[in-house]
Structure 1
Amino acid sequence: MLKKVRGTRKKATLGHIRQETVYLAIQALQKDESLSIQLLCEIAGIARSSYYKWLNRKPSACELENEQLTQVMLSIYEKVERTFGYRQLTLHMRKQTGKKINHKRVYRLMKLRGIQSVIRRKRAKYVRSTPQQVAENVLNRKFEATAPNEKWVTNVTEFKYGHGQKAYLSAILDLHDKSIVSYVLGHSNNNPLVFQTLKQALQAAPGSKPMLHSDRGFQYTSLDFKKLLDKNELFQSMSRVGRCIDNGPMESFWGTLKCEKYYLHKYETFQDLKKDVENYIHFYNNERLQAKLNGLSPMEFRNKAA
């Protein structure tokens, strides 16, 4: 019985959203195109009296609050170049307004305004190389860490700019707070790119000896990389062959970065690409809220733990 009542309530809510959308569309078309209300109502299949009743109604307290929340939502949505879905919008709206906003409410407001998040693209496939040395999958998908600099994950991803030119981003992510510890954007996918990323991470966290997990890319399986790890007393872990999920948090970050920034623009120069990558990583570390971090940004969560 309870399930039936919930289903009826859900249908009523969706019906209200569709009706509200129709009224808003008629209002916008009449204002922008100077079309007849009678004609628009006939096309929409609703009575003209129903539209005027909606137009002249006195907004309820809930409707007024929804309008205020909608403006906050749209402001955040535009700031992040229309990339956030209802989950991210909910987190940011809660923080900005100080109110306990339900994610279902934000979803309904998005439907009313006809907005949605961008769709992530499928990852490219790469040819595997013969490794010089490999390590076991010690991390074993245990993606939680009790303290900063306990477990790091790393990888390299590719970008394109100009006329078929390529750039490569190497980064290290801390599993404790999902922050990007270090990153290097270069023109070549080679050992120096990866080595420099690790050296920068060690400089940012002096004295740390975390586990470092990667895939089986040629840089990470090289003997020189193993020597660098041993020199700094870092323990190495590697994903199994063909198991991208073994390095899930790093892959997730690449998807987020590309979805919320890279895919939205066409870059003519390396410097343009570099500027946006740097700006996004700063935004991600310091402003982008995460539900798994209690609604905080990575650096807020990290500082709170400290």
Structure 2
Amino acid sequence: MYSREQREAALEAYDRLAHEKQGAVLRVLAGEEAARVAEDLGVTRPAVLNWRRAWSEEGAAAFMGDIAERTPGAAGALPDDPEELKRMVRELRMENDLMREVVELVKKDPGADPSSLTNREKAALIDALRGTYSLSSLTSRLAIPPSSYYYARRAAAAPDRWAEARAALAEEFEAVGGSRGYRYLRMRLAARGIACGERTVRRLMREEGLEVPRLRRPRRWSSYAGEVSDAPPNLVARDFRAGLPNFLWLTDVTEFRLPAPGQPKVYLSPVLDCFDGGLASWSISTSPDAELANSSLARACATLSPGEAPWVHSDRGGHYRWPGWIAICEEHGLTRSMSAKGCSPDNSACEGFFGRLKSEFFHCRDWGGVTAEEFMASLDAWLRYYNEERPKEALGWMSPMEYRRSLGLAA
């Protein structure tokens, strides 16, 4: 049997903790900052916020719930056994310490359930608190068998087999300005003699925070100007394959909005060759007028050899239905083809090029303070890089021009 003094001491310890929580909640409700209250009590701010939430839902009974559930007899009655009271106090303290370590050690959001962590994270928590609490109590609370704890601990201490791959990924990702995805990076690792599967590369990128910027889609500029002339049929029917250069061309216009105040928008009109995805030509301007589209088509036609007369596929924009565009097509024997109105999948290969362009060149850079003239020069340089140097998986990791040279189609 325990003495009356021991029993009263245990009761006093638990009562002090319950009143500490209630007092903290009352101070927060009175207008004090939760961080200040937590600092005074030597606990974490999330702990104080959790107490306040529990108080708002259950009142003072929130701090007596565990006692009522575990004690026989009337709800809320305290057990007579001082050791049971001490155990309850230890569990309350362990809960608070776990909550603090979840935030500070494994960097989870406040209020995260410790039992939902990974085994490696649970092992880190146990190591941090093992000097204060027993291994059995910690593994029981975190719902991890001791054998799994020891395995996770050994795994965390083992050398990282992917350390070289992680460093190489970071270097290659930085070298392209964070603009290329896991397929390209896997190819670059292979070139360095580091073998990694696609799933491994994606996992390592995720763990290292190597994320390619997503394409933002502002309201699109439209070149549609009504039924200026009769539209030719869609001869391509979404089949963008071509067995020879200058057999099937695609074109469209896209815009770039510069963040610098007072700078005009910049527009690009490329002519894309479906043989290898290379660019036959392009024009860049601050005006989305007929000259922009006509000049890019005229430059592409200047590269044709005798007897070459490509199909040229576009959307139904007004540029491609005005007399100037039609005259260039007739002069060089080009066959016109058009998408259905408002149907971007009919020209998806060209849209895909715009997506790659904006992901790799535009959205991953800070263009603040850059003038339209400077931007157009940078865009022109990137388009040359795209043709001459940018490797493509579909071409055996060669650029369009390297691919043509390998086939003897270019000098």
TM interval, short-chain normalised: 0.7 to 0.9
Among residues 363, 371, 384, which one is paired with 1:269 in the alignment? 371
Alpha carbon RMSD of aligned pairs, Å?
Answer: 2.8
Contact 2:234 2:338 (C-alpha < 8 Å) held by counterparts: yes
> Among residues 362, 384, 387, which one is paired with 1:282 in the alignment?
384
Q: Does 1:235 align with 2:335?
A: yes
Q: Kindly provide the amino acid, as one letter, of the partner of residue 229 in structure 1.
A: C
Alpha-carbon deviations, 1:19-43, whole Å to 9, x = none? Answer: xxxxxx979xxxxxxxxxxxxx899
TM superposition shift of 1:166: 1.4
Is structure 2 residue 270 aligned with structure 1 residue 171? Answer: yes
The alpha-carbon distance between structure 1 residues 42 and 152, as it changes in their structure 2 partners (threshold 3 A), is: closer
Pairwise mapping of residues 7-86 of structure 1 onto structure 2 (< 5 A)?
45-47=125-127, 57=158, 59=159, 63=161, 66-86=162-182
For 2:176 and 2:331, the matched residues in 1 are separated by 41
Distance in 2 between the 1:209 and 1:26 partners? Answer: 66
Shift of 1:216: 0.9
Q: Which residue of 2 aligns with 1:217?
A: 317
Q: How does 1:129-168 map to 2 (within 5 A)?
A: 129-130=225-226, 131-161=228-258, 162=260, 163-168=262-267
Change in CA separation of 1:102 and 1:153 when aligned onto 2, cut-off 3 Å: same
Question: Paired residue for 2:213?
Answer: 118
* Equivalent position SS for 1:169: strand
Shift in Å, 1:230: 0.8
What number of residue pairs does the alignment pair up?
A: 264
8 A Cα contact 2:124 2:153, kept in partner: no
Q: TM-score, with normalisation over the residues of structure 2?
A: 0.58
Aligned to 2:351: 251
CA distance in 1, matches of 2:257, 2:212: 23
1:85 deviates by 2.1
In structure 2, how many angstroms separate the alpha carbons of the residues matched to 1:92 and 1:212? 35
Q: CA deviation at 1:135?
A: 1.1
Q: Within 1, Cα distance between the matches of 2:311 and 2:356?
A: 24
Q: In structure 2, do the counterparts of structure 1 residues 99 and 181 end up closer, same or farther at CA, with 3 Å as the change threshold? A: farther
Give the distance between the partners of 2:263 and 2:290, measured in 1 at CA: 22
How far apart are residue 81 of structure 1 and its match? 1.4
Counterpart Cα distance in 2 of 1:133 and 1:223: 11
Evaluate the alpha carbon distance shift between residue 75 and residue 198 of structure 1 in structure 2; reply closer, same or farther with a 3 A threshold: same
Instruction: Choose which of 190, 193, 208 in structure 1 pairs with 2:292.
Output: 193
Which structure is richer in relative contact order (CA contacts within 8 A, separation 6 or more)?
1
Q: Distance in 1 between matches of 2:184 and 2:235?
A: 32
How many percent identity over aligned positions?
Answer: 27
Structure 1 residue 291 corresponds to structure 2 residue 393 = yes
Is contact 1:129–1:218 with CA below 8 Å preserved after alignment? yes
* Whole-angstrom CA distance in 1 between matches of 2:235 and 2:171: 44
Gaps of 5+ in 1: 1-24, 28-40
Q: Which amino acid aligns with 2:184?
A: Q
**Equivalent residue letter for 1:158:** E
Alpha-carbon distance between aligned partners in 1 of 2:233 and 2:122, rounded to the nearest angstrom: 68
Relative to structure 1, is the Cα distance of residues 286 and 93 closer, same or farther in structure 2, using a 3 angstrom cutoff? farther
Structure 1 consecutive aligned stretches of length 4 or more whose deviation exceeds 6 Å: 49-52
- 1:277/1:227 Cα in 2 relative to 1: closer, same or farther (>3 Å)? same
**Aligned partner letter, 1:262:** F
The C-alpha deviation readout for 1:215-261, integer Å capped at 9, x for no partner, is: 11111011221111011011111111111111111111111111222
**Amino acid across the alignment from 1:215:** D
Larger radius of gyration: 2
Q: Is the 8 A contact 1:91 1:290 kept in 2?
A: no
Alpha carbons 2:255, 2:266 under 8 Å: kept: yes
Matching residue's letter, 2:392: Q
In 1: Cα distance, 2:193 partner to 2:346 partner: 37
Check 1:178–1:265 CA distance in 2 against 1; reply closer, same or farther (3 A cut). Answer: same
Task: Give the letter aligned to residue 226 of structure 1.
Answer: I
Instruction: Answer yes or no: is 1:205 the counterpart of 2:205.
Output: no
Among 197, 204, 223, the alignment partner of 1:102 is: 197
